[in-house]
Amino acid sequence: MKRAVRISGVIAALLVVMVGCAKTPPGAVTGSPTVPADPTATSATAVATPTPTSLAALKLSGQGIGKYDFGTDQEKVAEALAKRLGDPDSVVTGETCEGLSGQWGETLVYGGLGVEFVAEDLSPTSPRTLVSWQFRVKNKLPSELVIADKVPLTLNFAELKAAYPGSASQDLGLGDGTIMLTLPNKLQFVGADTPEFVMGGDLQVCE
């Protein structure tokens, strides 16, 4: 039976996002204001301007995103993402497995990162929780994000297996040789000849 990976539509969306499309992080200074000189002043006193507190980078792991485990309400995770990455480049919505799952999903796309939330039913207004994240390995990882255990995104499958003994490989049965390599820390690399994306969370299939 032919199987389709549930997130294949999400990955397709990630592949068409422009590589190098950048955003200015919230609070970043893009220019310096010009202060007119006072001709009567004999000296100038610098006034300290409060500097926005920098936020810690969000860790993408096999358990969730940052301190938020899979199963966390979308509102909390989306707020943490927005504080670091701004508004998503796009939002992908719809039934997770069209005509089969009976669950409404919403994926926030930030460049090469997709973060998926799913409801218990097909209502677009029902509460959704975090079920997975995916990052396209060819994209540059934003400084606001870090990969758990600093796992490099430049290794092929053979190199990953050698570097992380105990990794498990699974053929996804798509007919094109696509496999999923799960590391001991639950990070998952997916691709055919070479990893296309790394992810954490559920990789469900539509039968």
Which pair of structure tokens corresponds to residue 39? 């001709």
Rounded to 5°, angle at Cα 197 from 23 and 106:
65
Phi, psi of 114 (to 5 degrees): -120, 130
- 201 has which bridge partners? 132
Give the model confidence (pLDDT) of 89-142 as tens digits.
999 999 988 878 889 999 999 999 999 999 999 999 999 999 999 999 999 999
Measured distance CA(81)–CA(89) in Å, rounded: 12
Residue 151: Cβ within 10 Å count: 18
DSSP track, 90-129: EEEEEESSTTTS--EEEEEEETTEEEEEEESSS-TTS-EE
Q: What is the residue extent of each domain of the chain?
A: 4-17+57-206
**186 in Cβ contact with 62 (< 8 Å):** yes
In this prediction, residue 201 carries a pLDDT of 97
Give the model confidence (pLDDT) of 65-95 as tens digits.
999 999 999 999 999 999 999 999 999 999 9
